[in-house]
Structure 1
């Protein structure tokens, strides 16, 4: 009788040991199967975006029939459709007629706002070119524009340095100028002038990290349907095309991805 009891006890111990070993082996195999830790996509939790816009009438939105901010209103809608963007706050500091030298005062008065910006948008240069046209209408020449463009470039460099001293992380986006004069006979090289201005601005902004130059001149070339009734400012379609171009460049240059990673 005792022998049978001992045999039964031993059988139970062996069975339990086998089941325990089998269970441990299964757990071990399952653990080995977890080759990579679980990660959450950077854009899983949408974030708030803060945009501050500086510049001239293109920033103010002159020619926008809705009076909602020109290209910035269209850009805001496109950004809100991005899965990483929860909300967009736009502070529009644009003023009609502004030249680059007048932006320094605007920047100094709004340093607190600029410090909080994720993206700083700038449209400037058109009125600086117009000043040359009005001051030298009867003796305009390409060398004159070359001289003025160099002055503009130095001011732009100072402007960017000032913005960077206020906000080291914000993406700075500068929109180029376009030709609003059409076939103005007094400036036969007007297209070359616009190209000169844009290339010079592009070279300056490339000296700073996390900056972007957006070309828009081609959007207005040889078209009448993109201008407001004054034949100078964009109309609704013109602003919409500008916003689409800006958004395309933000994505192509991974500016939005940089913002997402910075906000983690």
Structure 2
């Protein structure tokens, strides 16, 4: 049989060749797409930093309780965001991580910093701030008027043990970063009988200072005096946490300490 003078087998041969060409072209396109997708995926994976890394930025890591969290500040910034804003004006490559937890005690902070993710952040940090002890001392907002001497001693001893372990754990992860340890204040200074609470806070601050001296690169930032003379002016409506002005002063103190440390003071 012939079609327009050509044998049938010639027509079949042409069709077969065309089909093979189409199949080969499709295979090459699919292979290219597969290779491209794999390459793109590898680039995306390598370009995404691992959890905990901060790139080329210097890390300021804030740890602690509701003061670090910013409780009582109408804007929710607290001292950490105030410090961050100032640092970023002078150092464009600053990254801040706030790990403060409202109501956190020294025992809970001990457990928190043992987490793998936080351990990575501790290793990378260039500055570390800590507020801890207020919830141990005041039992989440309670006055010390009902606390007997033995209970007060036991609470302080537990705090001292926890604080040592906290600082020791941090130093195992990071030997060089300065740690700015904020002191405690007395939120009940406006009460008629504030001598007992003030005396106890001073004892705790003495313990804090003594323990800080056992480690290198730890700067104690005192804030007791800010609230002592006129606590109502610097406390939130709950009469326990700092208000906006209180956080302004805390941030100012911390920035002064950071500046002095940077200059080698």
Pairwise same-fold verdict (TM > 0.5): yes
For the 8 Å contact 1:179–1:217, the answer to whether it is kept is yes
Give CA deviations for 1:125-160 in whole Å, capped at 9, x if unaligned.
10001229859864x234542332122112111111
Partner of 1:130: 138
Q: What's 1:55 paired with? A: 64
In the TM superposition, what is the alpha-carbon distance from 1:111 to its structure 2 partner? Answer: 0.7
Change beyond 3 A, Cα 1:133–1:64: closer
Q: 1:71–1:136: structure 2 CA closer, same or farther, 3 Å change rule?
A: closer
Point out where structure 1 has 5 or more consecutive residues left out of the alignment: 1-46, 259-264
> Against the structure 1 CA distance between its residues 141 and 184, is the aligned structure 2 distance closer, same or farther, given a 3 Å change threshold?
farther
SS of the aligned residue for 2:93 comes to strand
Q: For the Cα contact (< 8 Å) 2:60–2:125, is it kept in 1? A: yes
Superposed CA deviations along residues 30-72 of structure 1, whole A, max 9, x for unmatched, are xxxxxxxxxxxxxxxxx8431111110000100111123x001
1:83-98 correspondence to structure 2 within 5 Å: 85-98=91-104
Gaps of 5+ in 2: 1-55
Return the TM-score normalized by structure 2: 0.71
2:166 is matched with which residue?
159
Residue of 250, 253, 258 corresponding to 1:242: 250
Aligned pair partner of 2:111 in 105, 110, 124: 105
* Mapping of residues 157-236 of structure 1, within 5 Å: 157-184=164-191, 188-223=195-230, 224-236=232-244
Count residues with an aligned counterpart: 206
Aligned counterpart, 2:43? none
- How far did residue 94 of structure 1 move? 0.5
* Deviation of the 1:173 alpha carbon: 0.9
2:73 is aligned to 64
Q: 1:128 to 1:186 in 2, by over 3 A?
A: farther
Distance in 1 (alpha carbons) for counterparts of 2:199 and 2:177 = 32
Using structure 1 for the length normalisation, give the TM-score.
0.72
Following TM superposition, the consecutive aligned residue runs of length 4 or more in structure 1 with deviations greater than 3 angstroms are: 132-138, 141-144, 183-188
Q: Tell me the distance in 2 between the aligned counterparts of 1:231 and 1:188.
A: 17
